[in-house]
Amino acid sequence: MTMKRKTLLKIIGSVGALFIAFMLTRAYLAARDAGLISRNDYDTTAPNIPKMMRPSVLVFHKTNGFIHEEGIPAANTMLVQIAAEQGWDVFVTDNGATHSPEILEQFDIVVWNNVTGDVLTHEQRAAMRQWFLKGGGWIGLHASGGNFSYKWPWFVDTLIGTEFVGHTLNPQFQDADVLVANPQGALTNHLPERWRIENEEWYAFETNPREKGYEILLTLDEASYVTNGENWMGLDDQMDGEHPIAWRHEVSDGRIFYSGIGHQSATYRLPEYREFVRRGMVWAAGVN
């Protein structure tokens, strides 16, 4: 092999290596920006919050994991509209430093809107737990109860009451039948007993919160959509027996309402779902 040819091959090899490194860097940055790579971003300086009239709602949408780029703003819009119609004050933020004793005591409800990743410091976790047990109302929407990144056992074991194990994939978004567990229930009597929701992502959980005494509000009919069990990502979209997708319960003086529905922005514009969340917020606030 001639010297020129060896030199040419070295140059080609170097260029190829640089190109591969460039593409890997781009892929990493794209995944990071999309929230596919968990971050450790904690807030320690709270925003200025105006004086809240009661009842009041804190809407929190921090993402240290996957970012629901369309679902989060759609849910924020819905929540602000509900608060306005109820005559409640509302503050919307992605700043975890709002979870302090001084700030939380200004609010009757805290809504976690598609929060992902580990988002609170140990002190902020303790403040939220104390606020909740003293009578706070906590609402969790979709990803707020559905990711692997929370390093907070109390949140998983007590607040949500179970752990996310996966969601539909192949296809990810599907039409499905949601079943009302108690058609006469105060939070669900506006819904049809079999409620078809189109083009959504459907969560599965490790255990059924009913086993802990939580009140199941909505379940899924797995026969109404495609489930594949455990997939190549290690996620499972099936559950044995009843498949809950929304529930509520009380711990001490605190109230929790969780709905696993809500990946897609269009879902937050469904009148039935909007009313379901509104009733959950009213119940969590402890007002009529």
The pLDDT tens digits for 79-113 are 999 999 999 999 999 999 999 999 999 999 999 99
Which residue positions in the chain have pLDDT lower than 70? 1-38, 148-150, 288
| CA separation, residue 5 to residues 10, 13, 105, 196, 213 (Å) | 9, 12, 74, 66, 75
Q: Count CB atoms within 10 A of the CB of residue 72.
A: 25
Pick the CATH number of 56-164+205-216+241-285 from 3.40.190.10, 3.40.50.880, 3.40.50.620, 2.40.160.20: 3.40.50.880
Alpha-carbon torsion angle 106, 124, 90, 71, nearest 10: -160
Give the HSE-up count for residue 227: Cα atoms under 13 Å, Cβ half-sphere. Answer: 20
pLDDT of residue 16: 57
| CA separation, residue 249 to residues 38, 124, 138, 217, 280 (Å) | 29, 22, 10, 10, 11
CA–CA gap between residue 272 and residue 114 (Å, rounded): 19
In Å, how far from its chain's centre is CA 43?
A: 19
Q: Which residues have C-beta within 8 Å of that of residue 53, sequence separation ≥ 6?
A: 88, 89
The DSSP code for 143 is G
Tokens of 175: 């039409």
Tokens of 195: 């409620």
pLDDT of residue 169: 94
- For the chain, the domains span 56-164+205-216+241-285
